[in-house]
């Protein structure tokens, strides 16, 4: 394995991000000429200009932010669980978050949600649900010697099943409008992108992506083992609590604005680790960049593959992610045997 | 100096350690020996501050262990656990570099220390190799280099302590000898070394002071010559042995 220097990787990823943003802006059911980009926020817009400003740009930003958020949270979770197979959607955090979100929608009532407070309230519900799920899985799966993959995944299955039951229960009692909103959370989707949503997630993701790499060194030490990290002077309990809160916040908000988009948090940190190594000081920002690129491309695909109909973005990431996950599982099993 | 007085430790009413007095003196190697389940690892967990004793006091350089901040403690006390699992593809250099986390000595100094620590465990050739691709012995050497790097140089004249839990369990003969040499050379710099070891002859060769644990109590304590007698070993391990003299080192040689 040959590694890239982290800086070179960041530059390449940034260039890819710019290209993916441009692609996402210009390609879709309506092809838009690149010149129209110049009419953004100007007074004399034609139809294409308005499509760009009101539909494409918020959607592209939302995809990039959600991708960055899920990928960096995935990288942190894998460090926290000391296991490269942890992913918010596989271990039940996303499901926990979606239960939290459905609770708010159901008990909050629709009138309240029509106001501007609706989305932040859903995000808080999702955050609390996600945090409860992370804490439960962590308690169940982590021991002195590390995290058992099987326990972690089984706990994920249990939480996902429970979350499914609760969500179904809500769906049973919900009226039509609520039903539509709740079903959105089971299928990751970016089609309700709006500037309002972009603001909500940007307010969380941008600080998160700046704060998380600061824990990089401590997370590296955590990979050696909890007691090893403690002997290196890391306040392990505080670190774990902080990381559980931060990742639940990230995943919760991502779920609140886009539903459960699976596997981004698994695939991206893996690719980045292969390219530049497991040092979290670079892995977290690198994952954020590449996560934004990946989800942008997946979303552009979702909008164009069956055009003019639109696939849910979560379907595309799951189609890419599930085989990837199986390949990783097989490889890990082979490593254990040899 | 790391000093423990009247340590007792019990979990759920089950007593694991009783009335342990222990001094890890600067410049000396202290080895703990004893049968499986005698409480050796529990004792290390207390001495490193990982668990609190049910009764008794532990002090490092005269200050109660609990008064040390985690970073302060980590800059003078390095601990090598029995086995470490690391499933991520760090290079040997990156793993050893983690030993420098408690310090702010700068990249240039840290790099020099990592080079020296890897060389000290005969691991220079592992430098850029991935931890996940190494043999058991190589992994253990890299972990040893990491803890050596952690207390490679004194910090503001504080006493340094090196604690190793069975550091040679997967080493070949050459690397066992090298580890003994490393412990001796750290002791020669004034570091207090505490090591849990199973091989009685290794213990006799490397230690200035031997501590025999049996059923959570100290069964014997003193120099290898005082402790390694046929009678003590019969009492503690229930094995008949005869004691000779190692012709190379002059230390007791346990022949079973």
Domain boundaries, chain B: 2-255
Of A286-295, A312-321, B185-194, give the lowest mean pLDDT range.
Answer: A312-321
Number of A/B CB contacts below 8 angstroms equals: 72
Q: Does B50 touch chain A (CB under 8 A)?
A: yes
pLDDT for A1 beyond 60: no
Note whether B89 contacts A278, CB cutoff 8 Å: yes
pLDDT for A336 beyond 80: no
Q: Does B81 touch chain A (CB under 8 A)?
A: yes
pLDDT at A172: 83
Identify all chain A residues contacting B103, using CB atoms and an 8 Å cutoff.
none
The architecture (CATH level 2) of A6-337 comes to Orthogonal Bundle (1.10)
Identify all chain B residues contacting A273, using CB atoms and an 8 Å cutoff.
88-89
Note whether A221 contacts B101, CB cutoff 8 Å: yes
- What is d(CA A57, CA A26) in angstroms, rounded to the nearest whole number? 10
For residue A254, give the nearest of A297, A210, A302, A314 by alpha carbon. Answer: A314
Superfamily of chain region B2-255: P-loop containing nucleotide triphosphate hydrolases (3.40.50.300)
Note whether B85 contacts A220, CB cutoff 8 Å: no
Q: Which ipTM was obtained for this model?
A: 0.90
pLDDT-based confidence at residue A212 (cuts at 50, 70, 90): very high
Task: Calculate the alpha carbon distances from A69 to A206, A253, A275 in Å.
Answer: 9, 9, 20
Interface residue of A227, A231, A234, A269 to substitute, partner B, most B CBs within 10 Å = A231
Task: Calculate the alpha carbon distances from B16 to A149, B41, B43, B234 in Å.
Answer: 31, 10, 9, 22
Q: How close, in Å, is residue A66 to chain B by CA atoms? A: 26
Mean pLDDT on A196-213: 91
- What is d(CA B172, CA B163) in angstroms, rounded to the nearest whole number? 21
Mean pLDDT on B42-56: 91
State the sign of the Cα–Cα–Cα–Cα dihedral A40, A41, A43, A49: positive
Mean pLDDT on A203-228: 92
pLDDT digits (tens, 9 = 90+) for B155-188: 888 889 999 999 988 889 999 999 999 999 999 9
Rounded to 5 degrees, what angle do the CA atoms A126, A132, A134 make? 100
Mean pLDDT on B4-20: 90
Question: Which of A157-171, A310-324, B166-180 reaches the highest mean pLDDT?
Answer: B166-180
Task: Calculate the alpha carbon distances from B50 to A34, A135, B155, B255 in Å.
Answer: 61, 22, 22, 36
Identify all chain B residues contacting A223, using CB atoms and an 8 Å cutoff.
86-88, 90
- Contact call for residues B46 and B9 (beta carbons, < 8 A): yes
Tokens of B152: 């490679």
Q: Does B70 touch chain A (CB under 8 A)?
A: yes
Note whether A1 contacts B130, CB cutoff 8 Å: yes
- What is d(CA A148, CA A85) in angstroms, rounded to the nearest whole number? 10
pLDDT digits (tens, 9 = 90+) for B220-256: 999 999 999 999 999 999 999 989 998 888 888 998 8
Residue B105 DSSP label: -
Q: Does B97 touch chain A (CB under 8 A)?
A: no
Of A34-38, A291-295, A321-325, B190-194, give the lowest mean pLDDT range.
Answer: A34-38
Which H/E stretch holds residue B165?
strand B161-165
pLDDT-based confidence at residue A45 (cuts at 50, 70, 90): confident
Note whether A83 contacts B84, CB cutoff 8 Å: no
Contacts for A117 with CB less than 8 Å, ≥ 6 apart: none
Identify all chain A residues contacting B102, using CB atoms and an 8 Å cutoff.
232-233
pLDDT-based confidence at residue A104 (cuts at 50, 70, 90): confident
Note whether A227 contacts B50, CB cutoff 8 Å: yes
Of A103-117, A159-173, B28-42, B106-120, give the lowest mean pLDDT range.
Answer: A103-117
Mean pLDDT on B116-139: 93
Q: How close, in Å, is residue A270 to chain B by CA atoms? A: 11
Q: Does B11 touch chain A (CB under 8 A)?
A: no
pLDDT at B209: 94
pLDDT at A145: 55
Q: How close, in Å, is residue B99 to chain A by CA atoms? A: 7
Which of A217, A232, A279 shows the shortest C-beta gap to B74? Answer: A232
Interface residue of A76, A86, A146, A228 to substitute, partner B, most B CBs within 10 Å = A228
| Percentage of chain A exceeding pLDDT 70 | 90
pLDDT for A112 beyond 80: no
For residue A266, give the nearest of A132, A90, A147, A94 by alpha carbon. Answer: A90
pLDDT for A73 beyond 70: yes
Q: Does B122 touch chain A (CB under 8 A)?
A: no
The string of DSSP codes covering A84-152 is TT--TTTTTHHHHHHHHHHHHHHHH-HHHHHSTTHHHHHHHHHHHHHHHHHHHHHHHHEETTEE-HHHH
pLDDT for B70 beyond 80: yes
Which of A232, A278, A335 shows the shortest C-beta gap to B88? Answer: A278
**Closest Cα in chain A to B69:** A233
**Closest Cα in chain A to B149:** A232
**Closest Cα in chain A to B162:** A231
Identify all chain A residues contacting B95, using CB atoms and an 8 Å cutoff.
224
Which of B71, B77, B98 shows the shortest C-beta gap to A224? Answer: B98
Q: Does B214 touch chain A (CB under 8 A)?
A: no
- What is d(CA A163, CA B25) in angstroms, rounded to the nearest whole number? 57
pLDDT at A13: 96
pLDDT at B165: 93
pLDDT at A338: 43
Q: How close, in Å, is residue B75 to chain A by CA atoms? A: 8
- Contact call for residues A152 and A83 (beta carbons, < 8 A): yes
**Closest Cα in chain A to B129:** A1
| Percentage of chain A exceeding pLDDT 90 | 30
pLDDT for B53 beyond 70: yes
Mean pLDDT on A65-82: 92
pLDDT at B177: 92
Tell me the Ramachandran region of residue B81: left when phi exceeds 0, alpha when psi lies from -120 to 50, beta otherwise: beta
Note whether B101 contacts A232, CB cutoff 8 Å: yes
Q: Does B91 touch chain A (CB under 8 A)?
A: yes
pLDDT-based confidence at residue A148 (cuts at 50, 70, 90): low
Q: How close, in Å, is residue B93 to chain A by CA atoms? A: 12
Task: Calculate the alpha carbon distances from B131 to A205, A268, B116 in Å.
Answer: 33, 22, 18
pLDDT for A46 beyond 90: no
- Partner B, chain A 263-282, Cβ-Cβ below 8 Å: 273, 277-279
Note whether B95 contacts A224, CB cutoff 8 Å: yes
Q: Does B79 touch chain A (CB under 8 A)?
A: yes
């Amino acid at each position: 394995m040959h590694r890239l220097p982290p800086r070179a990787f960041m530059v390449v990823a940034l260039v890819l991000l710019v290209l993916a943003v441009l692609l996402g802006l210009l390609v879709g059911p309506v092809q838009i000429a690149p010149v129209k980009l110049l009419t953004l926020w100007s007074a004399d817009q034609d139809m294409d200009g308005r499509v760009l400003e009101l539909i494409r740009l918020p959607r592209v930003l939302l995809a990039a932010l959600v991708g960055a958020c899920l990928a960096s949270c995935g990288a942190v979770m894998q460090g926290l669980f000391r296991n490269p197979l942890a992913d918010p959607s596989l271990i039940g955090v996303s499901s926990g978050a979606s239960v939290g979100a459905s609770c708010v929608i159901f008990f909050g009532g629709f009138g309240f949600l029509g106001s501007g407070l609706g989305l932040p309230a859903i995000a808080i519900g999702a955050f609390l649900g996600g945090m409860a799920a992370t804490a439960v899985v962590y308690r169940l799966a982590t021991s002195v010697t590390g995290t058992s993959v099987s326990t972690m995944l089984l706990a994920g299955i249990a939480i996902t099943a429970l979350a499914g039951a609760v969500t179904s229960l809500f769906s049973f009692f919900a009226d039509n409008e609520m039903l539509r909103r709740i079903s959105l959370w089971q299928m990751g989707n970016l089609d309700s992108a709006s500037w309002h949503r972009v603001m909500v997630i940007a307010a969380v993701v941008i600080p998160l992506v700046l704060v998380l790499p600061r824990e990089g060194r401590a997370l590296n030490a955590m990979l050696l083992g909890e007691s090893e990290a403690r002997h290196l002077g890391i306040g392990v309990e505080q670190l774990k609590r902080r990381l559980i809160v931060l990742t639940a916040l990230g995943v919760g908000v991502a779920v609140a604005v886009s539903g459960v988009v699976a596997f981004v948090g698994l695939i991206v940190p893996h690719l980045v680790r292969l390219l530049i190594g497991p040092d979290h000081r670079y892995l977290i920002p690198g994952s954020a960049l590449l996560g934004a690129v990946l989800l942008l491309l997946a979303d552009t695909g979702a909008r164009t593959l069956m055009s003019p109909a639109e696939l849910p973005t979560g379907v595309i990431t799951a189609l890419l992610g599930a085989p990837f996950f199986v390949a990783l599982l097989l490889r890990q099993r082979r490593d254990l045997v040899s | 100096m790391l000093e423990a007085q009247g340590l007792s430790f019990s979990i759920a009413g089950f007593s694991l350690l009783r009335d342990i007095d222990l001094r890890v003196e600067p410049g000396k190697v202290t080895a703990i020996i004893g049968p499986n389940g005698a409480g050796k690892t529990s004792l290390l967990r207390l001495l490193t501050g990982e668990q609190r004793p049910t009764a008794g006091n532990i002090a490092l350089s005269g200050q109660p262990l609990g008064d040390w901040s985690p970073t302060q403690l980590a800059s003078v006390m390095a601990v090598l656990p029995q086995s470490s699992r690391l499933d991520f593809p760090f290079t040997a250099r990156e793993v050893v570099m983690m030993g420098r986390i408690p310090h702010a000595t700068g990249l240039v100094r840290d790099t020099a220390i990592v080079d020296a620590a890897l060389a000290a465990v005969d691991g220079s050739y592992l430098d850029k190799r991935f931890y996940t691709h190494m043999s058991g012995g190589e992994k253990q050497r890299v972990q040893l280099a990491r803890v050596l790097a952690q207390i490679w140089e004194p910090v503001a004249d504080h006493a340094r302590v090196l604690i190793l839990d069975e550091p040679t369990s997967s080493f070949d003969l050459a690397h066992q000898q090298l580890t003994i040499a490393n412990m001796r050379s750290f002791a020669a710099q004034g570091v207090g070394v505490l090591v849990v070891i199973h091989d009685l002859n290794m213990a006799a060769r490397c230690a200035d002071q031997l501590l025999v644990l049996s059923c959570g109590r100290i069964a014997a304590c003193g120099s290898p010559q005082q402790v390694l007698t046929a009678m003590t070993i019969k009492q503690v391990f229930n094995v008949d042995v005869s004691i000779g003299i190692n012709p190379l080192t002059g230390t007791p040689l346990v022949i079973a």
